[in-house]
Structure 1
Amino acid sequence: MDDRTRAAAAQALLDAYGGTPVPPLSETYPAMTVEDAYAVQGLQLESWKAAGRVVKGHKVGLTARVMQRQLGVDQPDYGQLTDTMLLTEGQPLRMRDFIAPRVEPEIAFVLGRDLTGPGVSVVDAIRAVEFVLPALEIIDSRIADWRIGLVDTIADNASSGAVVLGSRPVALGAMDLRLTGCVLSVDGEIRATGAGGAVLGSPVHALAWLANTVGPHGITLEAGQVVIPGSLTAAQPIRPGGVVSARFAGLGTLTTRMERDA
């Protein structure tokens, strides 16, 4: 893809935030590569930054083996989190801000020191974490009907929507993230269960992978930023008026609600 075509793809996704999704980019631009897709993601990020938004963190997606098999890939992808995407428990989730939202429970890392790859080890990643928080990621797709392939989700900022963060910090050393279990309930009904081991064997592995992947592109994971490393369970749809609750072993329970449009 040339620069003009990448810019057109990025603008199509930016326009889709108005509520009207676009056809799969992999169909509109069949020659799109992973490199093209990250470039399209980057163009959107530059547009957001020009509008005053600030990068406050990063996300890792496609960490579950089942999702990798579904999309025919053997590694995760990543996206960026801006200040407008990070919410605290109790802040409203508004249906009009999303197209087809789904929810995933995650263990969020808050960094106490910078991580710059390549060469970041798991030990380096552990030392960089100041504390962890329970989190609910609201994923969304600007691609119609979630008909996504790898380049579609990468270009669409790894299907980011919003992240609801808990307010009870827990030291990383107080937990074994591999064995940290989670029960995800929607409207009072248990919909999914899982554990941290579903995230590349441990969420810390996803953090190290991210630092080593973005480092060669001049991106540092900075102290104070939030990194969400991937879901402990399968994503679940959330409807207007729906209440989602995730109970994490050792982290407590985090609840959010999708408000109906006025």
Structure 2
Amino acid sequence: MTTSTPTDAVRTAADRLLDAARSGTPCDPVRALLPDTTVATGYAVQSVLTAAHLEAGRTVAGRKIGLTSPAVQAQLGVDQPDFGVLYADMACTQDVPIDIGRLLQPRIEAEIAFVLGADLDHDDIDTATARAAVAQVVPALEIVDSRVAGWDITIVDTVADNASSGLYVLGDDRHELGDRDLREVAMTLTGTDGEVLSSGTGAACLGDPVAALVWLARVSREYGSPLRAGEVVLSGALGPMTPVAPGSSFTATLTGLGEVRASFTGGAS
């Protein structure tokens, strides 16, 4: 992601978030450290974090889109989604319990993921070109997390904190997008005892998950880091997120797309 030289305040905010992740202890919000609370400043912090992760040997697997729900946007006083970076080591396998000790304050949400078959790096990205670039549509679970204590976040805090990214799981069912209308996909997320924890539809994701992909492709290109073939894109939640507790398990069913599962251990003692 292309940015100007980071200010001392931006570096200090990035260091606070990195220290929280490394120590496993959530930190105070970063907004008070920054010269302003704009989205651009949040992405400046995120860019420093990304550079640090890449220097440490992590590799980019794709992107995630957040704040696709109008209700959440209104809560944080914004009128646009945000995005974060997915790293290869964030991908988890179905039916292999996830060590909850990897996370600080996890919550889970069901989404539709896209696996890209072509780059989206041109200047005329629209619905047709975005759909044509999708190789696979996959049911997904995103385990969101916050390095900020108590999820005490504003828009600049969550953008800075890599859009509150944690881990993710892709289902085994893979589909061509074709002419599917993803707005009509119905999602149900159930818990350990089969109780319904969350529900929603594709239309809850910025009106259409493909619209979310178009937004991401355009803004990623503007920031100098266009979407590439092979990358995974988590398009945004189809329903409310729910907390994750040690020993819990979840199954999301998405009509026409299949299901995806995740379970969690008790973590380190």
TM > 0.5 between the two? yes
- For normalisation by structure 2, the TM-score amounts to 0.94
Cα distance, 1:45 vs structure 2: 0.8
- Among candidates 109, 132, 138, match of residue 104 of structure 1: 109
Native 8 Å contact 1:186 1:238 kept in 2: no
Cα distance, 1:31 vs structure 2: 2.5
Secondary structure, counterpart of 1:153 in structure 2: helix
Native 8 Å contact 1:37 1:154 kept in 2: yes
- Among candidates 1, 8, 25, match of residue 4 of structure 1: 8
Native 8 Å contact 2:6 2:48 kept in 1: no
Native 8 Å contact 1:117 1:216 kept in 2: no
Secondary structure, counterpart of 2:58 in structure 1: coil
- Among candidates 156, 161, 174, match of residue 156 of structure 1: 161
Partner of 1:254: 260
Deviation readout 1:119-158 (Å, 9 max, x if unpaired): 3101110000001111000000001100110000000000
Q: CA RMSD in A?
A: 1.4
Residue ranges of structure 2 left out of the alignment (5+ in a row): none
Q: Quote the Cα distance in structure 1 between the aligned partners of 2:110 and 2:80.
A: 20
Partner of 2:200: 194
Partner of 2:244: 238
Q: Quote the Cα distance in structure 2 between the aligned partners of 1:19 and 1:130.
A: 36
1:202 maps to amino acid: D
Q: Quote the Cα distance in structure 1 between the aligned partners of 2:96 and 2:122.
A: 34
Q: Quote the Cα distance in structure 2 between the aligned partners of 1:254 and 1:35.
A: 34
Deviation readout 1:50-80 (Å, 9 max, x if unpaired): 1111001001100011100111111100100
Q: For structure 1, which segment, 88-97 or 100-109, has the greater mean C-alpha deviation from structure 2 after superposition?
A: 88-97
1:140 partnered with 2:145: yes
Cα distance, 1:200 vs structure 2: 1.0
Native 8 Å contact 1:175 1:250 kept in 2: no
Q: 1:4 to 1:27 in 2, by over 3 A?
A: closer
- Among candidates 178, 185, 190, match of residue 180 of structure 1: 185
Partner of 1:92: 97
Q: Quote the Cα distance in structure 2 between the aligned partners of 1:244 and 1:105.
A: 10
Report runs of 4+ in structure 1 exceeding 6 Å deviation: none
Secondary structure, counterpart of 1:93 in structure 2: coil
Partner of 2:221: 215
For 1:72-87, what aligned pairs fall within 5 Å after superposition? 72-87=77-92
- Percent of paired sites with the same residue: 44
Secondary structure, counterpart of 2:73 in structure 1: helix
Secondary structure, counterpart of 1:250 in structure 2: coil
2:201 maps to amino acid: A
Cα distance, 1:257 vs structure 2: 0.4
Partner of 1:21: 26
1:53 maps to amino acid: R
Native 8 Å contact 2:248 2:264 kept in 1: yes
1:261 maps to amino acid: G
How many residue pairs get matched? 262
Cα distance, 1:103 vs structure 2: 0.3
Residue ranges of structure 1 left out of the alignment (5+ in a row): none
Q: Quote the Cα distance in structure 2 between the aligned partners of 1:181 and 1:33.
A: 34
Cα distance, 1:117 vs structure 2: 4.8
Partner of 1:123: 128
